[in-house]
Every structure is written in structure tokens, then in C-alpha cells.
Amino acid sequence: MKKLIIASIILLSLLLIGLYIPKVKAVDKKEDHIIRVVSYNLKYGSSNQEDWKERKNILADQVLTYQPDSIGIQEGDYLWMSDSGLPGLLEGYDYVGVGRDDGHTSGEYTAIFYRSTYEVVNSGNFWLSETPDQPSKGWDGACNRICTWVTLENKETGQIYTHFNTHLDHIGKEAREYGTKLILDKISHFDTPVVLTGDFNFYQDSKNYQVIQQSGLLRDAKFEAKDSMSYGTINWFLKLNFRWFKPIDFCFVSDDFDVQSYRIDNTGIYNNKPVSDHYPVIVDMIIK
């Protein structure tokens, strides 16, 4: 009887491994004609400063390996945005963005870093609230939430696109709903190709997700890509993840893009665990 139980456990374990642990696809070397956009929730450096000192260099090296044209970050606190953080570690990149609490340096940045081969045509920030032009907390949100955007022009090719990046509220249902609608309204006034990245704190196929998918403005790059994959984006600093985990970090794109590939990368490791509690989203595109 004991042997039968052990054999059943082993068989069940093998079935679970075969069914649920996905084959994670590698992030290809970036080609010159590709626009690569990344979304990455970094985990606040202040949550564990000693831990941050160890993982910041690994995470920065990981980002540099991707060679993104632009990367939207979330949880960019004062440590991440200090000279010893990403601005000093991401050589060849500049950024736009402000702290959400005062519009200057206080609070989380949803900054967008971009390669120095691009010129900023225009940029801005707005708060996800009833008063989007000033630091503020919206609806039933737990804290101030902000969206950063930048229109970039490639100095060599002249190609232009606009990158929006945000981090929706983790508590307020109305804050996520109305914040989503506000972002879409802002995007509707742009005539450039648009990318929207962020930690949305809602799942794929949720109500707010469908609002974006059905807006006529943007679509999830995961389902537009010629070469895609399925994998969750939150990991709780655990190396385990399953195919049926749904992402909460997204890259939405306008119809102006021909999406080549979509990746969730789990290779950033330090101290035998993921370098952040979220995996990055990496999307390769071509402007049609």
C-alpha cells in the first residue's frame, strides 16, 4: 500500500510538471530594425536596502542585455532613481519621469528609460485621479498613481512612437477602472504609434483588460506577436511559475505595429531567486 501511494505521488508530480511548467523561450539578440520595448516592475529598493544593493547590478545588466529602445519601470523609488541606481547603471540611456507624490522626486516613478539614439519630441506625466494635472489620489485608490509618457524619434531613421507607462492601484477597484479609462482617453489624442506598458494589478481577461482590448486603440502584444508564449509575470521571489498563471504586467500596442515576438524572461537570478518579484515583459516590433 505504501509503495502504491509513493508511486501515485511520483506519477502525479510528473504529470503536473509535464502539464504546467512551460518551456520558457529565450530572448533573442536584438536586431537593428526592431523596436524593443520592455516593462519591468523592479520591486522598491527601500523594501530591503541590503538586498537591493545585491540585486540592482544584476537587474541593470539584465536590462542592458536586452538593449531595449525604451523600458517602462514600476516601483522606481528614490534608491532606484538615485545616481547609484538605474540612471548611473544604464549606460547609454536617459529617462523621463517624476515622483508621484510631489511631481518632482518624492514617491514612486513610473519612469521611461530610452536609448540615447532617440530624441525626446515631447513628454509628460498625469495622475490617475479626478485632478490629473497635479499630484493626487484618485477615487478609492490607496495611494497616488501616475502615468508617464514620452514621444521618441529615432535620430538615425526618423521613426517616431509614443510610450506610455503606468502602475495602477493595488487596492481600489474604481481607481483601476477609471484610471484605465483616463489613460485610454489620453492615448486617443495621439496620432503616433503608441505602446502602453505597466503593472496593471488586474489579470488577463479581467473587465479592465477587456476595456483596453476592445477600445479600438490598443491590443495585447502577447496575442499580436508572431512568436509568443504564456507565462505569469509575478513570482513572489520564487523560481516556480506555471503555464496557467496569468500576467498582470502587460505591453499593449496600437495597430501601427507589426509585433514580432513576446517574451517573459525568468533568467534574472540572484541568490538562487528571481532578481525582482515580477518578471519583465519584452516585446519586439516593427512600425508598419
Cβ–Cβ < 8 Å for 234, 202: no
What CATH number did the domain enclosing 64 receive? 3.60.10.10
Residue 245, pLDDT score? 79
* Top-confidence residue, 156 or 20: 156
Cα separation, 121 vs 160, whole angstroms = 9
The H-assigned helical ranges of the chain are 2-20, 49-66, 86-89, 173-187, 207-213, 221-224
Q: Based on the structure, what is the number of domains in the chain?
A: 1
Q: What's the whole-model pTM score?
A: 0.92
What confidence tens digit (pLDDT) does each residue in 51-108 have?
Answer: 999 999 999 999 999 999 999 999 999 999 999 999 999 999 999 999 999 999 999 9
Q: For residue 235, is pLDDT > 50?
A: yes
Cα separation, 168 vs 183, whole angstroms = 10
Mean pLDDT of the chain: 93
What confidence tens digit (pLDDT) does each residue in 1-39 have?
Answer: 666 666 566 555 545 544 445 567 899 999 999 999 999
- 241: pLDDT confidence band, cut at 50, 70 and 90? low
Compute the Cα dihedral for 238, 242, 247, 249 and give only its sign.
positive
Cβ–Cβ < 8 Å for 249, 281: yes
Residue 8, pLDDT score? 65
What confidence tens digit (pLDDT) does each residue in 178-218 have?
Answer: 999 999 999 999 999 999 999 999 999 899 999 999 999 99
The region of weakest confidence among 20-24, 46-50, 88-92, 272-276 is 20-24
Cα separation, 109 vs 61, whole angstroms = 20
Amino acid, res. 91: E
Residue 121, pLDDT score? 98
- For residue 14, the enclosing domain spans 2-287
